[in-house]
Structures are given as structure tokens and as C-alpha cells.
Amino acid sequence: MEISRREFLRLLGISGVATTIGAVTANSFFSIPDEVFERVLSGPRIETWKNSICTLCPGGCGIRVRLIDGVPVRVQGNPLYPINLGAVCPMAESGIEMLFHPDRLRSPMKRQGERGENKWEEIGWDEAMEALTERLKILHDSNQPEKLVLVNHHPNSVVKNLAARFMKLYGSPNIFEIDETQANSIPVYLSHGFHSPPAYDVLNSNFILNFGGDFLDEGPSPVRFNQFYAKLKNRKDQNRARLVHVSSYMSRTAAQSSEWVPIKPGAMAALALSIANVMIRDQSYKKEFIKKETFGFENWKDSLGTEHIGFKNLVLEEYYPEKVSDITGIPASKIVEIARDFALTEPALCIAGGQAATSTNSLYTLWSIYCLNALKGNFEIPGGVLFPKQMFSSQSQDFNLENVSRIGSNKPKIFPENICNFNFTSDSLEQLILSLHQDKKYPVDTLIFNGTNPAFDATNQQFFKDAINNVPFIVSCNSFMDETAEWADLILPKPVFLESWDGSYGVTGAEFSHFGVQQPVIEPIYKTKNFGDILLELSTRLGGNLASGMSWNSLKDYIQDQSSSIYHSGEGAIISESVDISWIEFLKKRGWQAFEYSTFDEFWNILLEKGGWWDPIYSKSDKDRIFKTKSGKFEFFSSTFKSEIEKLDLPQESLSARLNYLCDQWKISARNDQIFLPHFESPRFNNDSGSYTYHLLTYQMLIKTNGPGGNINLASELFGIYSREYWNSWVEINPETARSLGINEGDHLNLISPTGKLVVKVKILPTVMPETVVMPYGLGHNSVGKNPHEIFDTDMDFITGIPSSISTMIKIEKVNIDKNV
Amino acid sequence: MARWGMVIDLNKCTGCAECVTACKVENNVAVVGKDESEMGRTMLWMDILTHYEGEYPNTKVRYLPRPCLQCDNPPCTKVCPVRATYLDPEGIVAQIFPQCIGCRYCMAACPYTVKSFNWYEPHWPQEMAAALNPDVSARPAGVVEKCTFCVHRLQKAKEQADSENRELQDNEYIPACAEDCPTQAISFGDLDSPHSEVSELIRSPRIFTLLEELGTEPKVYYLSEIE
Amino acid sequence: MKNTIKYLTPVILVIALTGIISGTNQDVRQPISFNHKLHTEEVGLACVDCHSNVEKHSRALIPNIETCGDCHDDAEDENREKAKVGSYVSRNEKIPWIQIHVVPDHAYFSHRRHVTLAKIECQTCHGEVSEMERPFIIPFVELEMSWCINCHEKSKVVNDCNSCHR
């Protein structure tokens, strides 16, 4: 069977592939089931609505789907759902096209011919599952379960928990959880001693200092942040919040801020520390908080009497504005101005994301920025940093591990030598490719992709083919054929989010506990199975402790089981029109529950009808809950990091020998105490020859953020809504760059990096810094547009495994393209 | 009788383009594909105009959502030889697709370029037939189309109100863009009703309309950004 | 000669098409020879008993096996037509009725609006159905816009284009 995805897009608009809607008639070539089509043609056209969750991005918005005779025609926001309050983004809106997309995978497929040749044979589910089971059984029985690798992309979903449980029971440590929203957990781990993304009380703040977080287009929950920014901008007169956006490109988020401060790529840590410098010199930091609740601010002596440098002196010595001005390209007076605004406004919040985590110094950048919140004493106060309760976090290990599984799951992950498996880091696709590509601690046998597409998304995708060449068996679970699935041996088709069960909880940045149920608004229209059900069936087939440890009949069962823990806790309430927060709070204070449901079934049915549950009451945390460090305080000097290094399995005995070894491995210049303090590491750029002079940056648009659905026509067409380059990629350059190179609007440029070339059309825009060129990311899946990740020459922050995409340097050349071709 | 109008608060708008997508999906506006798009034939009933001001680094980017402005003195209706476009009694500039002969005079007359022409029959992947909104007809080739203020919603809302034997209530009829705007930047309602949200908003000192000097009297108003 | 054919082709096409369009209805064969008269007069059913959506929704719909199956499920019935219904029901297969009264896509037409709110008799548009012993093969009236407008003008209700066109 041939997959005509590439052809399809090219042919759109030619009647051979398409049908005319004005005169819809039954068509024998119609490939959606007859009963669905029948309903469309001659149904009574009765309108109903169903609530569910959109899981296209980590945001997990509550959705309300309009059905005509049971067929979904429109996705709108669920007005009651606390994350998005009735709004959705263009991605969710295109969910309908996703559901009926001609490229949907309709049944399991087995590879025919060579890998990547894209020849497939349709097989039944039974055969497909049997093939996978057999493979895993042999692996498990021969005591090498660690050779199974699972790549998962399901942040905030209950399927993630199920997958983690499966891997544990099977006995492999190699689960890669791809989640771009977790970067801010890193500084929390270093300074607070636990791993959890913080929530920012943006709405109650009067000054937001945003380091590179393009939260209106990407990140934890774009819809929420669009609402936040609109509300902040719209506060009455003197209460208007001031939003300062520091980044190397003026994104839509920067454009919606009060001020954009352009900064040289990779220099954010220096700016943050310089702001700290000004605050410390001005004595405008929260002295009381710093004195009582922090460790490592002043110089200190350890138990042996050795003197260690404190954050204060480090910052005062190294990061005065005049010096940092050279590093960042921001005038010293501007740095002082921002620092004073930040210090004197109450409450003022500092947030980071996106560009702050794209360089080789990501860890120290995120940490330095985060420490500004400590100087403001910003923890657990209105307008500050909050630590919401984690739901389902303490997954009780209510199962027994077989010996094989225990040994297997305790083995080290397949990371290469220079990446440590710290438990404060989250996994990236780049890390995965690097791990598979380089010499491994042990070979990989079976690789399962669940909805991830490293062959397109990863910024080191040039190594992808080599990386997977060494893997004997690759399984791809997906709703569409994508660049990664083309290299698989077995394809298991998944339903799209409108057809499947799932649950969403703990969206990064939400300050309340919440749980939304994703339910099928239409029965799966093809022979698909969601990933949870695949894992459960696999467990049954594999038998043993896996079968008893994964004993749910279906994913729906598992979700019901999870919901019952909410039901039994008696906390919070199912979202509803008639209840406001103050009422729930009033009742709770008096020991009452806002709602009583007589049975779990009643609770479950109302939960499905309304779409979600939440606990809006934020109980302030005790200090010992938010500071779990050795000192019991906020740590500028991270003893947590130090003890992690002591725990590493390395040949070196002494700490200093270990550190020297590690710093070489990590390619960082800091030594001794500095390693454990926020500081500025010079970013590495791949410009050895000196001939690559421009930084290549990318940005995403809300219309087509990465993730599933790269082939959605609606999104491709609207991709150019701001630039008027529909269905096409472009590169943005500064007017100055254009003048100096004699480039005019609409010319074509050849972008040359050490790893490849791309020819793209030029837009000359004042939103771009002169030393950078900027490309939108999202197109390039087929004949439409270009994928900038193809020419990335990515380095890495080896401590965290965060890819450093800005390490890519390029040169640009004008090309003459014959317009008639 | 109502006089429908819209107020778009640019201070609330973040330019996220949800209104554009909502409109395309709600009204079955055709996806024209790459080649057609390159010829400038993209169909957008609701568009976002992006405007760059100032020089680097003092750049300002502005976003302006632009539906059909539903003028009270519409230039497009005056040139239509067949009355396929006309100002209806409730202030909506109607576009009657089967009546249109495709002369495109109205497109030329519209100073806001809100109209698009169907160069071909709308083509969709076959499977997508099920996903179209049955409340709105797919336009045949050779006719001009544009934002209708989601008039199909008005037709249904009126029937519902009549069946319950009552007047149409505020917010019972809202176009898809206004309903789905994540930041509630788009307000919609009866401009003549003294207590409607829109009639209060148009008294704001921030109010303006596009190309006021042409005398087209748009019923889509904008509230300027607060600097 | 060649040229003549070239010029004539469009003309021939138009004639052929007209023939197809106007000829269609005469060629319609409904799958079952349904007898409205029998069902209304002898069985005593009202229109809404089977066309149950007509009062509440925009589409009235031709009843199908879910409705017919209430009374007919015998595929072996002596009466050939009844047996046909029974056989569709027992096979759980939709009866492929051909819809004769069709309002085009671009017009907003609601049965609820006309039947429930305006209290218009079914017969006004569909004729004396209860006298019919065979199913529709041609519409009672050609549902053209003039038919709508005439009635709207007579009954002095709204006849603005935008209130029906969409």
C-alpha cells in the first residue's frame, strides 16, 4: 500500500483527489465508514455537545465539542474548565480536520522492503500485538529488559503514569519523557531541593520580567497566557502591570509586552546577575528574607573552616552593569533601570522559558534568572512563585517486581558518557538521538515511539538515521504517518484526541489542582487503539507480574480508578456554573464538602458531563515543604547539586578530582565553588572557522506549534497570517543586515550552516536583531515550506541534556532565483 | 429592529489568530492550497493585519483583526448589478451567494478588501465532507464571499427565541470570532440598544473605525491600544 | 465538419444535461411502494407519528427501519411490500429512500419554523399525501424560490434575502 501524504498536499485543489461539497453524494471511494457518512447526508441534524480535553499540547485545555448527529464539527472551549476558561487556540480548532484527515493511519502496518522505503503491509491488531509481545517476551526472558526504550510525549497525562508503571514492571530504566515545559524545575531542584515546576502568580503581579518565555505561542499553556497578558494589559490606569521582555527576537509575546529588551544570544544569565548586582548595591533586595530563609548569600565557612564565596560577593565582583553591557549588548543604564523597576515594584515577578533554555549554559541561565525571585523574597506570596500541590505524584508502588525487572530497572539509562542521569533533568529528543548514536553502555533492542517525531523535531536530526540504524526493532504509535514512523518496522495506529480516553492534570503553571477527563466524542472511526490500551493488552499478553500489576481492563478503567482517588479524597469540586471559589472555601473551613455524591458512579457521570474537577483553594505551603534542602532554606549555593555529584558512579575518589573530570566533560569553565553557584558561563557557538557570522534562531506560532498535526492543511494555510507567506517558510532579517548585504524584501537567501543549506524567501523586519536571522518553525513536513531544524548544528548543555540550538551559526548568501521556474 | 455591530478592543487582543481559525472552520471557508495562496487567493473572512512601527530596537508590532466591517454606507452594495450584496434591515451587509454573478465589482469597490472570489469549486479531501458545518452552505465557483457576521447563527437564534415565544436576548446571537476570542477582545451586539455592551463601548474615547474619512460608516469599531 | 462538432459540443452537452435533470424524477423508483393512504386512513396514523422530527427540528426526514420496524419485521410476509420492509428491518439495513422534496444547501429551511411556529399544514407544500397510494416520485411543487416568496408575501412575513439565504 502506498502512502500518498506527500502527493496529497501537492494535489490539493485538483478534483482527482477531492470532492465537491456543494453536491455531496454517496461515494463508494469514500473511506470514512458509511454510517458516519450516512449521518452527515441524511441525519436529522440534531446538535449535541460533549466536553473533553484537548491534548495536542501540554496545556490540556477543556474543550466543548459540537456534534451534529454525533459527528464532531467544531471544537470550542469549555467555559467551566479552569485552565482555559472557555477559550481554545487555533490548534484545537483544527482537531476536526485531524480527525477526518485523509492521511490517518487506519490499521496496523508491517514494514515491507527496506527501512525508510515506505512500503507497508496492513496487518490485523492481533498479529501486530503478537509480534511485539514475542519480541518483548524474548528480551525479558533472556534477562535484558533494559534494552527496551520507550519515548513518550504525554506531559500531564495519566497515560504517562501508566507508561512509567509499565516500564518499571517490565524492568527498563529507559523511558524518555519528552516535555519542553519542565525547564523551570531545574532551578527549583537546585535551590529548593525538590523537582517540581513552579507556578507563577502572573495575574497578581505588577511587574513581569520575562526572560525569553514566548508563552503566548508555546510553553506550558498558551491559551492561559494569552488571557493573562490581555488581563494585565487591561488593568485600569495606574494599576497596569509593566511587562518587560528580554529576548533575542521580538516574538508575539515580546510585542505584547510593555517593552522589548533585545539581548545577545546566550547572555541572559549575565543580565540576570547584573540586575542582582544593582539590587545588592542599592540594598533594595529583601534583606529580612535573605537573612532568614536563604543559604549561601554571604560568604560562609564549612565544618572544616574553609571559607567559601557567597552569591553576594560573586555578583558584586563579576557582574557590574558596565561589564555586563558588553556581554549582553544592553546599555548599562538600561540594566540599572530594569533592576530598579524590578526592585521597587511590588509585587514583581521574574519568569523564564523558551530562549532561556536554548544555549549551552541553560542550567546556569535558568538558575541565575530564578534567583532574582529570591532577592525579592517571592515565594508563596501573591504575585510570586507558588508551589501547587502535586496530584497523583506519589504513585504508590503497589506491585511486586520480578527479579529480572528489579535488576533491569536499576541499570543506568543509555545516556552517553558525558551526560549524567541527574534526576532534576527532563529528557529531550536530542538526548535520545545522541544516546542512540554514540557508544552506548549496552545496545538497544526495541524502541517504541509514542507520538514523538524526532526525525523532524530534533535539532540534531542529521544523526537520526544513523542512530536508529543500530536498533533492531522500531515501533511507532501514531495517528499519522510522520518522518519518524517512516523508519519504523511496525506501526500501531492511534486514535486522535477526539476519539480517545485520557486524563489531564497538573498543567505546568496552574496554581490549583485540577483533573480533566478526555473522553471520546465519537467512537474511533478507524481500527485504532490508544497507547494506554496497547500497554494494557501488552501486559496481559506478557503475563506474570506485568499482567497482575497492570490489571485494568482498559485505559478507561484506569482513568476511573484514578478518579476514584479524587472522589474518596472529598476535596475540591466538579467544575460547575453554580459554584465559586469563595463558597467552596467557606464550606471547607467549616469542615464541609462543597459537593456530596452518593456513589462514585454518580461522581463519574457528572465528571464526564462537565469535563473536569478542580480544587481552587490554594493552601500556602509550609517553609519545610518549599525548602527541602540540607539547610532547610533557599540555597544560592546548591548543596543538593553537590550531593548529586557525590552520588555519581565515577572512578574518581575525591570531590575535586570528580569536579575537574565533570567540568571537562561538561565543557564548562567554572571551577570549585562556582559550579554550585549561579553564574554566567560563556555560551559556545559553532563558529570555529570564523566564517559563520549570524545566529540562526527559530520561533513557533500558536497556529502551528510542534507536536501532532504537522500535516494539517488549515494550519499550513494560516501559517502565513502575520507574514502573508501562506504555505511557505521565510527568514526574517534586520533592515541593517539587509542594507549591508544589498538584500531586498522577497529575495531568496541561502542559509548555510556547517550541517546543511536552506533556500528561503526574505522578510525584512525590525523585530530581528542585526546579528541574528530568524525562521519560523513548523513547516517543512512535505513539499510545503522548510524545516530550519534540518540545518541546525546543535550543541548541548551536558549537565541537563537541554539542547543548545542557538549554538548554530550560519552564513547567508543572496541567491538569484528565476521567478519563472 | 436591531442594528448589529462589533467592537474589537485592541488593548485586549494579543493577535493569537483564534478568531481567524474559528471563522474558517465555522463558515466552511475553503482551504485553497499552496499554489492558489501564492497567487493571493487565500480566503479569509476574518484576517489579522500586522503592522510594524518604529526602527530597531524601538519596534512596536500591532495586530488588528479585520472582519467585514459591515458598513452602514457600504461602497460594495452600490456597485452590485444584481443585488447579491445589499444592506439588510438589521445592518448586516448580506452576500447572497446564489444571486451573485461573479462580476467582482464589489471586490474592487471595497476599500478594506474583505471579499474573496471563489476561483474554483471548493475542494476538500473527501473524508473532510463530514467535518463541514451543515449550517453554512459551501460556495460554488464563480461567486464572491465574505464575512456575514455569522448570519446563520442569527437565523437559528431567532427561531429558537420565537419557539420560546420571547425576544432575542443579549448574547444569544454572537459570531464565531467573538464567541471564541480567548481574551474576550471582541464584543458583539445591538448598537441601537442603549444598554448593550457594544453601545456602551462605542462611547469610549478610544473608539475609532478604519478609514473613517471615506464615510463608509463601519459597524465594526476598534478600541485603540493604551500606550 | 470537425469545426462544427467543436462548436456544437457545448450545445449538445447542455441539451443532454437538461434531459438528465428534468428526466431524473420520472425515472425514480422508490425501494418500497409505500402507501400513505393505507397508513393514515386504515391504520390511523398522523403525519408526525412517523415523521417525528417535523415539529422540533429543521429536517423532517423520511422514516427508516427504526420507525418502520415498530410494526414490520416479518421478512416472509405474504404482502410483497411488507415483506420488503421486514427484510430491511431484519437485516438491519437502511431503506434507501430517495428524497424528493429537497431544499438546497444555501437556503435555511426549518420544519419547526413552518409547522410548529407558523402552523402551516403539511398539505400546503406536500399536497394531499393521505390520499396517495404510492410513494413520491415527483415533488408536489417544485421547491423554487418563487414558491417560498409568494407565500411569504401573502402571509406578510419576512422576505429579506438574508433571513433565509446562508
ipTM of the complex in this document: 0.94
User: Which residues face A209 on adjacent strands?
Assistant: A244, A350
* A632: phi then psi, degrees, rounded to nearest 5: 70, 15
State mean pLDDT over B152-173: 92
From C110's Cα to the closest Cα of chain B, the distance in A is 9
The better pLDDT of the pair B32, A310 is held by A310
**Which residues 6+ apart lie within 8 Å of B134 measured at CB?**
A40, A45, A68, A73
Nearest alpha-carbon partner for B173 in B157, B162, B161, B184: B157
Residue type present at position A532: G
Cell numbers representing residue B151 in the block = 448570519
First-residue to last-residue Cα distance in chain A: 33
Nearest alpha-carbon partner for A435 in A448, A422, A418, A449: A418
Q: Identify the CATH number of the domain in which residue B182 sits.
A: 3.30.70.20
Three-class DSSP category at B35 = helix
From C164's Cα to the closest Cα of chain B, the distance in A is 7
Q: What are the CA-CA distances from residue A288 to residues A205, A277, A471, A703, B224 (Å)?
A: 21, 18, 57, 46, 44
- Structural domain including C140 reads 28-62+97-164
Contact A201, A382 (CB under 8 A): yes
Per-residue three-class SS string for A414-459: CCCCCCCCCCCCCECHHHHHHHHHCCCCCCCCEEEEECCCHHHHCC
Mutation target to probe the A interface, by most A beta carbons within 10 A, among C64, C93, C105, C110 is: C105
First-residue to last-residue Cα distance in chain C: 47
Per-residue three-class SS string for A156-193: CEHHHHHHHHHHHHHCCCCEEEECHHHCCHHHHHHHHC
Cell numbers representing residue A424 in the block = 532534576
Q: Which residues of chain A have pLDDT under 70?
A: 1-42, 237, 392-397, 439, 578-596, 619-624, 705-710, 782-783, 818-821
Task: Find the closest chain C residue to A35 by CA distance.
Answer: C94
Three-class DSSP category at A478 = strand
Of B11, B15, B139, the CB nearest to A233: B11
CA atoms within 13 A on the CB side of A393: 12
Nearest alpha-carbon partner for A706 in A539, A461, A414: A461
Asked if residue C12 belongs to a domain, the reply is: no
From C156's Cα to the closest Cα of chain A, the distance in A is 29
CB contact under 8 A, B129 and A714: no
- C159 touching chain B per CB within 8 A: no
Asked if residue C36 belongs to a domain, the reply is: yes
pLDDT of residue B137: 85
Show residues of chain A in contact with B9, CB under 8 Å.
234
Task: Find the closest chain A residue to C93 by CA distance.
Answer: A35
Three-class DSSP category at A313 = helix
pLDDT of residue C26: 56
Nearest alpha-carbon partner for A495 in A782, A708, A702: A708
How many distinct structural domains can be found in chain C?
1
- B148 touching chain C per CB within 8 A: yes
- A20 touching chain C per CB within 8 A: no
Contacts by residues B105-108 (CB-CB < 8 Å, ≥ 24 positions apart): B105/B79, B105/B80, B105/B81, B106/B76, B106/B77, B106/B79, B106/B80, B106/B144, B107/B76, B107/B144, B108/B79
The better pLDDT of the pair A323, B134 is held by A323
Show residues of chain B in contact with A73, CB under 8 Å.
131-134
pLDDT of residue A413: 87
pLDDT-wise least confident of A746-750, A813-817, B57-61, C9-13: C9-13
From B200's Cα to the closest Cα of chain A, the distance in A is 17
Task: Find the closest chain A residue to B176 by CA distance.
Answer: A76
Provide DSSP, A66-83: EEETTEEEEEEE-TT-TT
- B176 touching chain C per CB within 8 A: no
Neighbours of chain A (3+ CB pairs under 8 A): B, C
Show residues of chain C in contact with B158, CB under 8 Å.
163
**Which residues 6+ apart lie within 8 Å of B161 measured at CB?**
B167, B168, B169, B172
A-C contacts (CB, under 8 Å) = 13
Give one word for C113, left, alpha or beta, with left for phi > 0 and alpha for psi -120 to 50. Answer: alpha
Of A90, A234, A784, the CB nearest to B34: A784
pLDDT of residue A33: 58
Task: Find the closest chain B residue to C116 by CA distance.
Answer: B163
From B156's Cα to the closest Cα of chain A, the distance in A is 12
Show residues of chain B in contact with C162, CB under 8 Å.
88, 90, 92, 94, 96, 148, 151
Cell numbers representing residue A478 in the block = 501514531
pLDDT of residue B125: 66
User: Which residues face A150 on adjacent strands?
Assistant: A175, A448
Contact B132, A74 (CB under 8 A): no
Three-class DSSP category at A583 = helix
Contact A129, A101 (CB under 8 A): no
CB contact under 8 A, C105 and A22: yes
Contact A776, A699 (CB under 8 A): yes
What dihedral do alpha carbons A159, A164, A165, A171 form, nearest 10°? 140
Mutation target to probe the A interface, by most A beta carbons within 10 A, among B123, B145, B179 is: B123
Show residues of chain C in contact with A43, CB under 8 Å.
59
User: Which residues face A449 on adjacent strands?
Assistant: A151, A476
- C26 touching chain B per CB within 8 A: no
CB contact under 8 A, B59 and A766: yes
Asked if residue C78 belongs to a domain, the reply is: no
pLDDT-wise least confident of A31-40, B119-128, B184-193: A31-40
- B152 touching chain C per CB within 8 A: yes
Mutation target to probe the C interface, by most C beta carbons within 10 A, among A21, A37, A38, A42 is: A42
Cell numbers representing residue A582 in the block = 469563595
State mean pLDDT over B64-87: 96
pLDDT of residue A18: 34
pLDDT of residue C11 exceeding 50, the answer is: no
Contact A225, A257 (CB under 8 A): no
Mutation target to probe the A interface, by most A beta carbons within 10 A, among C17, C24, C94 is: C94
CB contact under 8 A, C59 and A44: yes
* B188: phi then psi, degrees, rounded to nearest 5: -140, 145
CB contact under 8 A, A36 and B17: no
Nearest alpha-carbon partner for A634 in A182, A186, A188, A184: A188
State CA A684 to chain mean position distance: 24
Q: What is the pLDDT of residues A680-699, one digit of tens each?
A: 999 999 887 888 999 999 99
CB contact under 8 A, A45 and C58: yes
**Which residues 6+ apart lie within 8 Å of C41 measured at CB?**
C130
- C59 touching chain B per CB within 8 A: no
Q: What is the pLDDT of residues C19-72, one digit of tens each?
A: 334 444 457 889 999 999 999 998 899 999 999 889 988 888 889 898 999 888
Asked if residue C118 belongs to a domain, the reply is: yes
Show residues of chain A in contact with C57, CB under 8 Å.
44-46
Could you identify the residue written with the cell 491488531?
A: A125
- Give kind and range of the element (H or E) at residue B63: strand B60-66
Nearest alpha-carbon partner for B184 in B4, B5, B16: B16
Contact A243, A252 (CB under 8 A): no
- A45 touching chain C per CB within 8 A: yes
Bridge-based pairing of strands A502-505 and A490-493 is: unpaired
CA distance A363 to A383: 24
pLDDT of residue C22: 41
Asked if residue C91 belongs to a domain, the reply is: no
Contacts by residues B45-50 (CB-CB < 8 Å, ≥ 24 positions apart): B45/B114, B45/B116, B45/B145, B45/B146, B45/B147, B45/B148, B46/B19, B46/B20, B46/B22, B46/B147, B46/B177, B47/A721, B47/B20, B47/B114, B48/A721, B48/A722, B48/B15, B48/B17, B48/B19, B48/B20, B50/A722, B50/A723, B50/B15
Asked if residue C54 belongs to a domain, the reply is: yes
**Which residues 6+ apart lie within 8 Å of B131 measured at CB?**
A71, A72, A73, A96, A97, A99, A100
Cis bond before residue B57 (omega within 30° of 0): yes
CB contact under 8 A, B57 and A260: yes
A-B contacts (CB, under 8 Å) = 228
CB contact under 8 A, B138 and C166: no
- C116 touching chain B per CB within 8 A: yes
Could you identify the residue written with the cell 526493532?
A: A473
Nearest alpha-carbon partner for A89 in B150, B183, B8: B183
How many distinct structural domains can be found in chain B?
1
Asked if residue C112 belongs to a domain, the reply is: yes
Cell numbers representing residue C47 in the block = 403525519
From B110's Cα to the closest Cα of chain A, the distance in A is 20
CA distance B73 to B78: 9
Show residues of chain B in contact with C165, CB under 8 Å.
94, 96-99
- Structural domain including B32 reads 4-223
